[in-house]
Amino acid sequence: MNDDELEIRELIDGWLRAIRAHDLEGVVAGHSDDIVMFDVPPPEDGARGIDAYSATWPPFLEWLASGAVFDAVAVEVFAGGGDFAYAHALLRCGTPERLAAEPDRRLRLTLGLRREDGRWLVAHEHHSFTAQG
Amino acid sequence: MNDDELEIRELIDGWLRAIRAHDLEGVVAGHSDDIVMFDVPPPEDGARGIDAYSATWPPFLEWLASGAVFDAVAVEVFAGGGDFAYAHALLRCGTPERLAAEPDRRLRLTLGLRREDGRWLVAHEHHSFTAQG
């Protein structure tokens, strides 16, 4: 694993820890000011900018605090040299009841990353569940 | 726009042209052997490898041939130096009837790219629509 992959894995691990700790400040600490997130719910063209990104989290963190799960089961990072990188991941995400009923269901996550002043930041997130039809 | 961005925009434009021409060979020509696609429908953990990726396209190309739309309205590429890059895009995708009824609905697309032997390839795709709840 190269240094860029290591640094990005630490960034993602810190973000996941902040989510599990319901720590909004930690959740947004590694994100760029111009983050573009394609989230599960609308808006159709994404949440754009760190303020819009931050505003999506409090209801989700409350949902997690009520007992819902957000666990990464597979994270793959693609980086090495240059100032851009990406990562993708599969997560178990849902209420315990839904995860029990649909154990194979996954939240799919893709991250776009940019190095700024020597530090990797998340500049793009895409979260989705599969859909039929 | 730097040379990497230019080359990647040409790669994406060629892929979109191949899709619109219902040309399966062209659709897969710029993809890595180990492509991982998180598609709108299952499988939950993605279509993995160029054979699985290729197999997803014929039914979709038939659907387009019957009159459905797949038009990029915004493509942004993030690249420069190094062997990894990413891009995100918004597309109008659906039957003409559905697009007329829901003009703001967008297919969200994220691409992860890798340079191999001096040539950029798509190594990851994530397609989704928004969902409620």
pLDDT of residue B132: 80
Q: Would you identify the CATH topology of the domain A3-128?
A: Nuclear Transport Factor 2; Chain: A, (3.10.450)
pTM for the predicted model, two decimal places = 0.97
Closest CA to A16 of A91, A115, A80, A107: A91
Say if the Cβ atoms of B38 and A131 lie within 8 Å. no
B38 interface with A at CB cutoff 8 Å: yes
Residues A33-58 have pLDDT tens digits of 999 999 999 999 999 999 999 999 99
Q: A4 CB contacts (<8 Å, ≥6 apart)? A: A79, A80, A81, A85, A115, A120
What is the residue extent of each domain of chain B? 3-128
Taken in order B24, B30, B36, B40, the sign of the CA dihedral is negative
Closest CA to B35 of B59, B22, B54: B54
Shortest alpha-carbon distance between residue B82 and chain A (Å) = 4
Judging contacts by C-beta atoms under 8 Å, the chain B residues touching residue A106 are: 44-45
What integer best gives the mean pLDDT of chain A? 97
Say if the Cβ atoms of A82 and B82 lie within 8 Å. yes
Say if the Cβ atoms of B45 and A106 lie within 8 Å. yes
Residues B72-111 have pLDDT tens digits of 999 999 999 899 999 999 999 999 999 999 999 999 999 9
Closest CA to B103 of A92, A44, A31, A118: A44
Residues B1-50 have pLDDT tens digits of 899 999 999 999 999 999 999 999 999 999 999 999 999 999 999 999 99
Shortest alpha-carbon distance between residue A45 and chain B (Å) = 7
A79 near B84, Cβ under 8 Å? yes
pLDDT of residue A133: 56
| Peptide bond just before A103 cis, omega within 30 deg | no
Which of A40, A105, A108 has its CB closest to that of B46? A108
Instruction: Name beta bridge partners: A107.
Output: A91
* Chain B residue closest in CA terms to A73: B45
Instruction: Name beta bridge partners: A119.
Output: A116
Q: B43-62 burial, b for 16+ CB within 10 Å, e for fewer?
A: eeebbeeeeebbebbeebbe
* Alpha-carbon span B109 to B129, nearest angstrom: 9
Residues A71-86 have pLDDT tens digits of 999 999 999 989 999 9
Say if the Cβ atoms of B79 and A84 lie within 8 Å. yes
Q: In this structure, what token pair is assigned to residue A31?
A: 């994100």
| Alpha helices (H) in A21-102, listed in sequence order | 24-28, 50-65, 96-101
Q: In this structure, what token pair is assigned to residue A47?
A: 């949440």
Whether the complex's predicted ipTM is more than 0.95 is answered with yes
* Alpha-carbon span A106 to A94, nearest angstrom: 9
